[in-house]
Amino acid sequence: MAFLELTGIRKEFGAAVAVRDFNMGIHQGEFISFLGPSGCGKTTVLRMIAGFERPTQGTIIIDGQDVTEISANKRNIGMVFQQYALFPNMTVAENIQFGLKVRGADAVMRKQRVADMLEIIRMSEFGARFPHQLSGGQQQRVALARALAIQPNLLLLDEPLSALDAKIRVSLRQEIRAIQRQLGITTIFVTHDQEEALSISDRIVVMNAGVVEQIGTPLDIYNRPQTQFVASFIGTLNVLRAQVIDHTAGRIRIDGQEVTTGVQIIDAGEVVSIALRPESISIGHANGYGNALSATVEDVYFMGSVVRVRTRLTEQQVNVDTFNAAGMIPPKPGEKVTLIFPSEAARVLTDAAHA
């Protein structure tokens, strides 16, 4: 049984529908990311889970209890926001123990929890400092410690890293994940940054325009996108128009050249969109294994560890990413090449999430 169950969730603000038909079960101890562009509804779902917003329709069950109509202060949920929201007139220790004090915890218990939290976030010597004496990353660690000090059933993180510098974001997201694993707390992390979601999540919920596009592991989301939005939003992608030749065998034609997707698709004659990751394609010679497309090199881009080769079929452009190995000699613009890729690398995209 899921620890957190969201069933038929819909949220309207006047005539605007912010979230529609959101359904998901989250297991105890999972780290889930809600990923999508600004305005897609991910924070609205988080606020409904927290109790700051009531769903127009649907139910929210936490640990077997229907909390849909229960106020936020009775849900035992810890929350960390984008802006640190620390009390400027309180020390680090006072900020961390604030929730415990509100709940009536005695001084001995509060002192011990503060010490425990400071040790977890590796800031034991900072208890007497004030927020203005801390860096942005340190302030967000304190905000995390404050949320965890009350020993919540569920931890909600709303874009907690977006106000920080890039290097700090990388190190702090790793720390958040390590702390989450250490405590085993069920966590939902809202972000618009695909790298963040892919690097720390057990599962990712990709949202767009208030709708769930796909739910899956980072590997599934990246390698097996189900909709055009997911394919284009996650990573770099070639999206190619193709005509179906044999739907049972997955045979298609791209710019007059026949290849296979290895899966059954819609009826013959239909036009579909095919997704191909640049790193799943190699430049070589047709060997009878996988697919081969004839192309012409248009340009070559050096990107550090990767060399991107931009090629063209008859009409459509295909990018190929090749590892920058020692001794590599990239093709030259105007050169004729053969693009090789396995059948399973070609994904047929749909707009099923909006059907």
Same-domain check for residues 160 and 63: yes
CATH number at residue 285: 2.40.50.100
Same-domain check for residues 125 and 256: no
pLDDT in tens, 107-117: 999 999 999 99
**β-pairing verdict for 317-323 and 306-312:** antiparallel
User: What pLDDT is recorded for position 267?
Assistant: 63
- Asked whether 187 and 155 are in contact (CB, 8 A), the reply is yes
User: What pLDDT is recorded for position 353?
Assistant: 42
Average pLDDT on 44-54 reads: 97
Same-domain check for residues 307 and 159: no
How many domains are contained in the chain?
2
User: What pLDDT is recorded for position 355?
Assistant: 37
Same-domain check for residues 217 and 74: yes
> Does pLDDT of 290 surpass 70?
yes
Largest CA distance in the chain: 76
pLDDT in tens, 92-102: 999 999 999 98
Q: Which domain holds residue 283?
A: 236-354
Average pLDDT on 34-39 reads: 96
CA atoms within 13 A on the CB side of 219: 1
Residues contacting residue 64 through CB under 8 Å, at least 6 positions apart: 1
**β-pairing verdict for 4-13 and 57-62:** antiparallel
- Asked whether 208 and 36 are in contact (CB, 8 A), the reply is yes
Taking alpha carbons only, the member of 180, 175, 154, 140 closest to residue 70 is 154
End of a domain among 185, 209, 230?
230
Same-domain check for residues 240 and 157: no
Same-domain check for residues 51 and 176: yes
User: What pLDDT is recorded for position 83?
Assistant: 78
Same-domain check for residues 291 and 306: yes
Residues contacting residue 191 through CB under 8 Å, at least 6 positions apart: 33, 34, 35, 159, 161, 162, 197
> Does pLDDT of 241 surpass 70?
yes
Average pLDDT on 166-190 reads: 94
> Does pLDDT of 167 surpass 70?
yes
Same-domain check for residues 222 and 265: no
End of a domain among 178, 202, 230?
230
End of a domain among 202, 230, 258?
230
- Asked whether 321 and 278 are in contact (CB, 8 A), the reply is yes
User: What pLDDT is recorded for position 266?
Assistant: 62
User: What pLDDT is recorded for position 351?
Assistant: 60
Same-domain check for residues 216 and 288: no
Same-domain check for residues 125 and 244: no
How confident is the prediction for the chain on average, in pLDDT?
91
Q: Is the four-CA dihedral 46, 50, 55, 58 of positive or negative sign? A: positive
> Does pLDDT of 285 surpass 80?
no
- Asked whether 299 and 332 are in contact (CB, 8 A), the reply is no
- Asked whether 188 and 160 are in contact (CB, 8 A), the reply is no
- Beta-strand (E) ranges in 81-231? 154-158, 186-191, 203-208, 211-216
Same-domain check for residues 186 and 333: no
CATH number at residue 157: 3.40.50.300
Same-domain check for residues 96 and 219: yes
